[in-house]
Amino acid sequence: MRAHPALFTAFLLAIFLASCRQDMHDQPKYKPLAPSRFFSDGKSARQLVEGTTPYSPEGKATPTMTDLSKMTTLPFALTPHVLDRGQERFNIYCAPCHGRLGYGNGMVVQRGFRAPPSYHIDRLREAPVGHFYDVMTNGFGAMPSYADKVATDDRWAVTAYIRALQLSQHATLNDAPPEDRSKIQQSAQGGQTR
* Residue 162, pLDDT above cutoff 70: yes
Other Cβ atoms less than 10 A from the Cβ of 10: the count is 10
- The per-residue pLDDT of the chain, averaged, comes to 81
Task: Give the start-to-end residue ranges of the domains of the chain.
Answer: 87-169
Q: What is the pLDDT of residue 9?
A: 83
Asked whether 103 and 118 are in contact (CB, 8 A), the reply is yes
pTM of the predicted model, to two decimals?
0.61
Q: What is the tens place of the pLDDT at every residue in 40-74?
A: 888 777 776 776 655 555 544 445 455 677 888 88
Angle between helical axes of 152-169 and 129-138 (0-180°, round to 10): 130
* Residue 140, pLDDT above cutoff 60: yes
Q: What is the pLDDT of residue 178?
A: 83
**Phi, then psi, of 79 in degrees rounded to 5:** -130, 165
Nearest-angstrom CA–CA distance, 177 and 189: 18
What superfamily does domain 87-169 belong to in CATH?
Answer: Cytochrome c-like domain (1.10.760.10)
